Amino acid sequence: MGMIGGGIDSFIGDVHRKAAAMDGMIDLVCGAFSSTAERSKASGKLLFLPKERCYANFEEMILSEKKLPEDQRMDFVAIVTPNHLHFAPAKMALENGFHVVCDKPMTLTIKEAVTLEQLVSSTRLLFALTHNYPGSPMVKQARAMIKNGDLGSIRKVQVQYLQGWLATPIEKIGQKQASWRVDPSKSGVGGALGDIGTHAENLVEYITGLQIKELAADLGKFGEDRVLDDDGNILIRLENGAKGTMSFSQVAVGEENNLAIRVYGEKGSLEWQQEHPNQLITRWLDKPKMIYTSNGTHLYPEAIAASRIPAGHPEGYLEAFANVYKNFAIHLKAKLDNQEIEIPDYPTVSDGLRGIKFIHASVESDKNNAAWVSLN
């Protein structure tokens, strides 16, 4: 793979590199790691890459790699930049024949997201979106149980994603991760909504297999002088008639990464918490509460396939992230070998479009006093 962004001191770039390397299927071979040629080359040197494959910018990287023989050039590009720098490199990579892995949210606008979806369709190239939480074995167990009808028809969903790291205005003292996330020119129209709200949206649709049909959003801006939301509460209606609530915040003092979901069906319910990722709690009408564990007993094949180590050994954030890359790599290898396989389980460009529609519908709803807005 080649990488765009993710240079010196980048948090998410380091996560991508570790996740991609975990299963020994992907090598980093080139990159345009920073907004300046000097920093990009310095980052490449730290990663032991050849000097000639550490590029000044993504345009140079894509065009230069395209000129290399097929067995030497990068097979795909991973885009790990702030939000406003997702669309242009993704579009250029697809137009020049390269597959794409991209951070979320996929783009800033719905028009851009539609453009990428159409490009993926016309080029038949692969596009993975790095929503990492669906990579958790217990999330895959939850999805399989619902798909199999174990819970019966879904009636109610509650999802939350609570953090407290923006409870004080750390962007004013130059905190790098905060600075771009509160800037609409770099983050887009959503603040916490785009950063963590999209994870909650994706988790609801992934686990239940149901799309959000309508929503009513009440967004908050509690940080001093902030123009983007840092808190929000949303009512949701799913396509089967189920109801739901979503709460997210980055100003919830004391919270670290409290992503949790509860799904209630006719026959039972389930609960998963990201801070305790190796357990899936289920409750039933006619039998005792059951707790499933990663690589434990009575699991569906999808959950077993996502586990790497014996039960009782914790698997978490990086392993879930790595499952996105592993499944993408399995699909890409099959495509490069001209083999037809069942498409492995990873978020795609269509999930990216759903996320952008969710962000814009929520902002529209909030501007109209939490009026109901359709996502279709």
Residues 106 and 177 placed together within one structural domain of the fold? no
Residues 219 and 272 placed together within one structural domain of the fold? yes
d(CA 129, CA 54) in angstroms, rounded, equals: 24
Q: For residue 340, tell me if it sits in a domain.
A: no
Q: What is the pLDDT of residue 172?
A: 94
Residues 114 and 200 placed together within one structural domain of the fold? no
Q: For residue 343, tell me if it sits in a domain.
A: no
Q: For residue 321, tell me if it sits in a domain.
A: no
Rg (CA), the chain: 21
Residues 196 and 250 placed together within one structural domain of the fold? yes
d(CA 363, CA 193) in angstroms, rounded, equals: 9
Can you read off the two tokens belonging to residue 364?
Answer: 């529209």
Residues 25 and 169 placed together within one structural domain of the fold? no
pLDDT single digits (tens) 74-91: 999 999 999 999 999 999
Q: What is the pLDDT of residue 375?
A: 93
Among 87, 108, 130, the domain-final residue is 130
Among 104, 130, 156, the domain-final residue is 130
Q: What CATH number does residue 52 fall under?
A: 3.40.50.720
9 has pLDDT over 90: no
The range of the structural domain enclosing residue 256 comes to 135-313+353-374
Can you read off the two tokens belonging to residue 165?
Answer: 């790291």
35 has pLDDT over 90: no
Residues 277 and 297 placed together within one structural domain of the fold? yes
62: phi then psi, degrees, rounded to nearest 5: -60, -45
Residues 45 and 146 placed together within one structural domain of the fold? no
Contact between 323 and 139 under an 8 Å Cβ cutoff? The reply is: no
d(CA 358, CA 335) in angstroms, rounded, equals: 31
pTM given for the model = 0.96
353 falls in which pLDDT band (50, 70, 90)?
very high
Residues 219 and 84 placed together within one structural domain of the fold? no
**Number of separate domains in the chain:** 2
Q: For residue 29, tell me if it sits in a domain.
A: yes
Q: For residue 319, tell me if it sits in a domain.
A: no
d(CA 12, CA 282) in angstroms, rounded, equals: 33
Q: What CATH number does residue 276 fall under?
A: 3.30.360.10
Residues 161 and 308 placed together within one structural domain of the fold? yes
Q: For residue 342, tell me if it sits in a domain.
A: no
Contact between 36 and 8 under an 8 Å Cβ cutoff? The reply is: no
d(CA 317, CA 1) in angstroms, rounded, equals: 21
Query: How many CB atoms neighbour CB 301 within 10 A?
Result: 9
Q: What is the pLDDT of residue 343?
A: 86
Residues 100 and 173 placed together within one structural domain of the fold? no
Residues 6 and 106 placed together within one structural domain of the fold? yes
Residues 88 and 145 placed together within one structural domain of the fold? no
Query: How many CB atoms neighbour CB 15 within 10 A?
Result: 19
Contact between 215 and 234 under an 8 Å Cβ cutoff? The reply is: yes
Q: What is the pLDDT of residue 149?
A: 98
Q: What is the pLDDT of residue 317?
A: 96
Among 109, 130, 151, the domain-final residue is 130
What does the DSSP 8-state code read for residue 226? -
What does the DSSP 8-state code read for residue 268? E
Beta strand 127-129 with 99-102 is: parallel
Q: For residue 287, tell me if it sits in a domain.
A: yes
Q: For residue 325, tell me if it sits in a domain.
A: no
Q: Give the Å distances, CA to CA, from 122 to 116, 341, 351.
A: 10, 20, 17
pLDDT single digits (tens) 219-273: 999 998 999 999 999 999 999 999 999 999 999 999 999 999 999 999 999 999 9
